[in-house]
Structure 1
Amino acid sequence: MSNVDEIKQRLRGVSIAPVITPFKEDGSVDYNTLESLIDWQIKSGSHAISVTGTSGEPSSLTPEERVKVMETAMKAVDGRVPFLPGTGSTNHEETKYLTKKAAEIGADAALVIVPYYNKPNQDALYKHYKTIATSVDLPIIVYNIPGRTAVNLEVDTLAKISKECPNVIGVKESNKDFEHVNRVLLKCGRDFLLFSGIELLCFPMLAIGGAGSVSATANVVPEKVAEMHDAWNNGDLKRAQELHYELMPLNDVLFKDTNPAPAKVALGLMGKIHPALRLPMDLPSKELQEEIKSVLENYVELNEGASITR
């Protein structure tokens, strides 16, 4: 069995936790806390770990910091679950460099976002992904998030990439167009790995043959997000559906400001991190912080006396 076939099997039916990048009070990356978060995620049931995706604030990190975050995470995972760092950026050569680094450190796959800000056309996206995929001996999962990249990777473009590049094994679709995600599996094949990046579509995506999810909510309640997938995999559809609706209030409040700011507030209230972001991102308003706290206490035990400042 090839590495591609093996990782495709390991990534079916999974909750991939897109772990945040914790910062210290002085704004530097808190690598020790990152290790602790990853250990907690795995012990809480997360089936795979990703870093430096959207939740990991990659655009706030230097390329050198991104490499060190990947290396730290790889060490913390220690082979217990699959590891899929985010290696994409708006710069083609930087994306290629980071993806090669992921391969060098032994990652199981790389999550490569559609380039943001510069709005490439479909032919340019095809060339970008084909060049990245053929430059490494590593499975690639495309990351399509048109709400943040300002361009949608069309189904026909993705199908062309996947057919010409056997190591492009799947896509994370943060795409609210459910017709689009259905057509991904129709055009790319039912064995293509389709992951939901939209929290309210994590459960419905499984029903059409999706492979799982990469949900920011897993940063806060990893055990519940993982349990929903476990219930589905075990044929307990009623429990999976119950968890889908149970998670909705938390999903909603965690996206009332730009991810990962609300998730960092939640983790701060839980005593897991010092809740800080790098400008131009910042913590949510005091009002939203109070709302997050009010919702969160229905799911987890908060750290006594924890408060967040802005």
Structure 2
Amino acid sequence: MANLTEARAKLRGSIAPIITPFHEDGTIDEQTLKNLINWHIESGSHAISVTGTTGEPSSLTLEERIKVMDIAITTADGRVPVVPGTGSTNHQETMVLTKKAQELGADAALVIVPYYNKPSQHALYKHFKTVTDSVDLPIIVYNIPGRTAVNMEVKTLAQLNKDCPNIIGVKESNKDFEHVNRVLLHCGRDFLLYSGIELLCYPMLAIGGAGYISATANVAPKKVAELYDAWIEGDLQKAQNLHFDLMPLNDVLFKDTNPAPLKAALGMMGKIHPALRLPMDLPSKALQEEIRSVLSNYVDIPNEVIS
């Protein structure tokens, strides 16, 4: 069995969910991905995640997802933990990807509640139990009802926590703050609770959360990581200030479907070629202008707005 005590200790803080950069022709830009990972580590991100929602996994082939995981783990080279997203709407694909993450040396796997299918709670339990039993790897459940159309209920998660020792936590992209409070009540205070909602990153720390997996870290990794550091150091005023300082950026980056605004912003910053794969596309010209205006308060933006 994986060293779960060690995993619980190190999988804390800002786990940056990195975008998947593409060349203009739509192929994966491997060198830029490596550059982004190094930038995140240098900026203080406590861990990285790839092929989660922000990494456009549904637009990648199985082979591409494995390639991105491999690049991330190799590039990080043990400097920070790597937590790839291995979930899919397809049970067998989830099994394959999660086993591959273990084989490649991932520190944990982030497994999303299957989207589109709208499984029952009983089916969700069977899906996660089967995947978890197939690997010797810490598992973080990813609950994002706004994109999966089904919410993993607290009682289902608590039963999985009881029956599956290597399920160590949950990323809750759930705006119901009562729900996330009850996760810790019923799963235990040592269960790793991460916020996937930007405006709940700071509040979730206050109830005992382990950190957050915030898409905003893609453009402001240092500030997002510093919020957690300030909390841990007991500088609550600094943590609160960072929470409110990041709010306008958080707001504008979610005025279109993630990661479209992020890729536009990173293009403005000169970090990537701002390409998505259809059916995703860049935000409207008007929203790009708004992103540029807000972003200019946080970082240098040398590039023109993308047409």
**Same fold judged by TM-score > 0.5?**
yes
What does 1:123-162 correspond to in 2, within 5 Å? 123-162=122-161
For 2:18, the equivalent position in structure 1 comes to: 19
Distance 2:122 2:2 in 1: 30
- CA deviation digits over 1:212-238, x for unaligned, max 9? 000000000000000000000000000
For 1:241, the equivalent position in structure 2 comes to: 240
In structure 1, the residue corresponding to 2:102 is in which secondary structure? helix
For 1:275, the equivalent position in structure 2 comes to: 274
Say if 1:85 and 1:111, in contact at 8 Å, map to a contact too.
yes
What does 1:277-296 correspond to in 2, within 5 Å? 277-296=276-295
How many residue pairs match? The answer is 307
Say if 2:119 and 2:150, in contact at 8 Å, map to a contact too.
yes
In structure 1, the residue corresponding to 2:270 is in which secondary structure? coil
TM-score (norm 2): 0.99
Distance 2:218 2:277 in 1: 18
- CA deviation digits over 1:190-224, x for unaligned, max 9? 00000000000000000000000000000000000
What does 1:48-87 correspond to in 2, within 5 Å? 48-87=47-86
Gaps of 5+ in 1: none
In structure 1, the residue corresponding to 2:116 is in which secondary structure? coil
What amino acid maps onto 1:66 in structure 2? Answer: R
For 1:306, the equivalent position in structure 2 comes to: 304
For 2:257, the equivalent position in structure 1 comes to: 258
- CA deviation digits over 1:140-162, x for unaligned, max 9? 00000000000000000000001
For 1:44, the equivalent position in structure 2 comes to: 43
TM-score (norm 1): 0.98
Q: CA deviation at 1:307?
A: 3.0
For 1:10, the equivalent position in structure 2 comes to: 10
- CA deviation digits over 1:132-179, x for unaligned, max 9? 000000000000000000000000000000110000000000000000
Distance 1:34 1:80 in 2: 16
For 2:214, the equivalent position in structure 1 comes to: 215
What amino acid maps onto 1:114 in structure 2? Answer: V
Say if 2:139 and 2:166, in contact at 8 Å, map to a contact too.
yes
Q: Identity over aligned residues, as a percent?
A: 75
Q: CA deviation at 1:116?
A: 0.1
What amino acid maps onto 2:92 in structure 1? Answer: E
What amino acid maps onto 1:61 in structure 2? Answer: L
What does 1:161-176 correspond to in 2, within 5 Å? 161-176=160-175
For 2:195, the equivalent position in structure 1 comes to: 196
Distance 1:308 1:144 in 2: 33
Q: CA deviation at 1:306?
A: 2.9
Q: CA deviation at 1:52?
A: 0.2
- The structure 1 segments of at least 4 consecutive aligned residues displaced by more than 4 Å after TM superposition are none
1:224 has 2:218 as partner: no
Say if 2:26 and 2:275, in contact at 8 Å, map to a contact too.
yes
Q: CA deviation at 1:298?
A: 0.1
Say if 1:266 and 1:292, in contact at 8 Å, map to a contact too.
yes
What amino acid maps onto 1:6 in structure 2? Answer: E
Q: CA deviation at 1:2?
A: 5.8
Q: CA deviation at 1:3?
A: 1.1
Say if 1:270 and 1:306, in contact at 8 Å, map to a contact too.
no
In structure 1, the residue corresponding to 2:162 is in which secondary structure? helix
Distance 2:215 2:82 in 1: 16
Distance 1:8 1:28 in 2: 35
In structure 2, the residue corresponding to 1:171 is in which secondary structure? strand
Gaps of 5+ in 2: none
Say if 1:257 and 1:284, in contact at 8 Å, map to a contact too.
yes
Distance 1:22 1:163 in 2: 38
For 1:114, the equivalent position in structure 2 comes to: 113
